[in-house]
Amino acid sequence: MLDALKNVFKVKELRQKVLFVLGVMVVYRLGAHIPVPGVDVSIIQEQMFAGAGEEIFGFLDLFAGGALSNFTIFAMSITPYITASIILQLLTAVIPKLEELSRQGQEGRKKIAQYTRYGTIVLALIQGSGITLYIRQFGAIENPGFYSLFVIIMSLVAGTAFLMWLGEQINEYGIGNGISILIFTSIISRFPGELYQTFTLVRLGEISPLNLALFLFLAVLIVAGVIFVQQGERKIPVQYSKRVVGRKVYGGRSTHIPMRVNQAGVIPVIFASSVLMFPSMIGEIIPFDWVNRLGTMLRHGSTMYLIVYALMIMFFTYFYTAITFNPEEVADNMKKRGGFIPGIRPGEATVQYLDKILIRVTLAGAIFLTVVSLIPYAMTPLTGVDIHWGGTSLLIMTGVALRTMQQIESHLLMRHYEGFME
């Protein structure tokens, strides 16, 4: 492990990428301590995180790395960008123009990314305005005039826009996976304080050592399960026919298509968590009875929330997998290069075969993600330990860390260095 870590810093290009990502993480955490002007943080912590708001905004604060409870410029975190990405991806599947752009390669993806940025700013303005008007209700704004409200909203929007830019810089100059790394940074920044608080409760006798041992066992189980499923793949054999060009013979080799069990990674969990934040938050902000009832029904940890959460994880797993793996495109590329799956005719039969395998393999990954995400909610009533944040957090942290290590691994193997994974 230490030798592999040394190899990372031996390769100049990879060393620069890793140091750049670490630098961005430091900048992110520094920015998470810059307060929004004109806001009394003590009142926010007393009122916003009391009662029902403790579960709703506490879960939002987890993704913001404590920036929401301290009401800093990164209080909204990157959730508007995630929501905008979900909306654009859904629209891409139903709007022909966006679908055509997605098939135009790099230029089309740039155009869709630009639309996502615009959508992020619009959603950030809506969310920032809602939060600002909400905290004004209990006197958290020192001077609740138009200018102060405008400054607060613009500070929140600017913070989200800056985080969006940081994520794109990680994708371009770092090792990729930019937005997920920012979420990873937010969650891991809360761990020292959460662990200290947990051990303090154990020392005071409010949590029994047996319950703590159960939580640690659950954490190890989740980490091991994520790694096991994330590494699992179905290898579909592919045979390339021989071609004679002049005096040379091309092709005739055997290979395989690696179809991962969990092709989507932890993206479905992030998407589902982000989408379900809004009904409860809007129910707290907008003073309408039907909105409040909807927010109460989808309150974090409620029965309806868990049902919708499970269904959304299943949906986003299939949806994201369908975007990242296109059986028609794979079958077409194989046909052009003279490849075929043994026993399967090239063309439409290959597409149907790949699609059938993809549905079955993805089902296993979707069920796994759903079960792992729901296990902590089921264990909380049995143990008396409030660990509902632990499952989602550990799932995201493990998935992002594993994906990042795989990307570093690929850089090392390209330069004939031994990687982390054996």
Tens digits of residue pLDDT in 298-331:
777 778 888 888 999 999 898 888 877 888 888 8
Taken in order 39, 119, 294, 286, the sign of the CA dihedral is: positive
- Mean pLDDT confidence for 282-290: 65
Q: Is residue 135 part of a domain?
A: yes
Q: What is the pLDDT of residue 160?
A: 94
The answer, yes or no, to whether residue 387 has pLDDT greater than 60, is: no
Range in 145-154, 271-280, 413-422 with the lowest mean pLDDT: 413-422
Higher-pLDDT residue of 314 and 49 is: 314
Q: What is the pLDDT of residue 379?
A: 65
Higher-pLDDT residue of 39 and 214 is: 39
Q: Is residue 221 part of a domain?
A: yes
The answer, yes or no, to whether residue 144 has pLDDT greater than 70, is: yes
Q: If you search the block for the tokens 């709007």, which residue do you land on?
A: 95
For residue 51, the SS3 value is: coil
- Mean pLDDT confidence for 102-123: 86
- Mean pLDDT confidence for 11-25: 87
Q: How far is CA 92 from CA 60, 117, 400, in A?
A: 28, 15, 25
Q: Is residue 421 part of a domain?
A: no
**Residues above pLDDT 90, as percent of the chain:** 13
Q: Return all residues near 351 (Cβ < 8 A) that are at least 6 apart.
A: 327, 328, 331
Q: What is the pLDDT of residue 155?
A: 94
pLDDT band for position 395 (50/70/90)? confident
Q: What is the pLDDT of residue 150?
A: 93
Q: Is residue 257 part of a domain?
A: yes
The answer, yes or no, to whether residue 270 has pLDDT greater than 70, is: yes
The answer, yes or no, to whether residue 383 has pLDDT greater than 70, is: no
pLDDT band for position 5 (50/70/90)? low
Mean pLDDT of the chain: 80
Phi, psi of 396 (to 5 degrees): -65, -45
pLDDT band for position 118 (50/70/90)? very high
pTM of the full structure: 0.80
The answer, yes or no, to whether residue 55 has pLDDT greater than 80, is: no
State which H helix or E strand residue 78 sits in.
none
The answer, yes or no, to whether residue 417 has pLDDT greater than 60, is: no
- Mean pLDDT confidence for 384-401: 67
Higher-pLDDT residue of 115 and 325 is: 115
Q: Is residue 225 part of a domain?
A: yes
Q: What is the pLDDT of residue 369?
A: 85
Q: Return all residues near 296 (Cβ < 8 A) that are at least 6 apart.
A: 52, 283, 302
- Mean pLDDT confidence for 62-89: 86
Kindly report, residue by residue over 156-213, the tens digit of the pLDDT: 999 999 999 999 999 888 887 888 899 889 888 877 777 777 788 788 877 788 877 8
| Domain count of the fold of the chain | 1
Q: Is residue 93 part of a domain?
A: yes
Q: Return all residues near 107 (Cβ < 8 A) that are at least 6 apart.
A: none
**Residues above pLDDT 70, as percent of the chain:** 84
Its domain, for residue 191, covers 2-414
CB 338 within 8 A of CB 241: yes
Q: Which two tokens stand for residue 113?
A: 């990314």
Q: What is the pLDDT of residue 251?
A: 57
Q: Return all residues near 189 (Cβ < 8 A) that are at least 6 apart.
A: 29, 32, 65, 66
Q: Is residue 422 part of a domain?
A: no
Taken in order 132, 135, 141, 144, the sign of the CA dihedral is: positive
Q: Which two tokens stand for residue 331?
A: 């079958």
CB 273 within 8 A of CB 334: no
Kindly report, residue by residue over 249-258, the tens digit of the pLDDT: 555 677 888 8
We report the CATH number of the domain holding residue 152 as: 1.10.3370.10
The span from the CA of 160 to the CA of 23, in Å, is 18
The answer, yes or no, to whether residue 241 has pLDDT greater than 60, is: yes
Q: What is the pLDDT of residue 381?
A: 67
State which H helix or E strand residue 89 sits in.
helix 79-94
Higher-pLDDT residue of 27 and 214 is: 27
Q: Is residue 419 part of a domain?
A: no
User: What are the helix and strand counts (H, E) for the chain?
Assistant: 16, 5
CA 55-60-63 angle, to 5 degrees, is 130
- Mean pLDDT confidence for 381-408: 70
Higher-pLDDT residue of 419 and 35 is: 35
DSSP β-bridge partners for residue 239: 254, 340
Q: What is the pLDDT of residue 74?
A: 93
- Region of 174 on the Ramachandran plot (φ > 0 left; ψ -120 to 50 alpha; else beta): beta
The span from the CA of 398 to the CA of 230, in Å, is 10
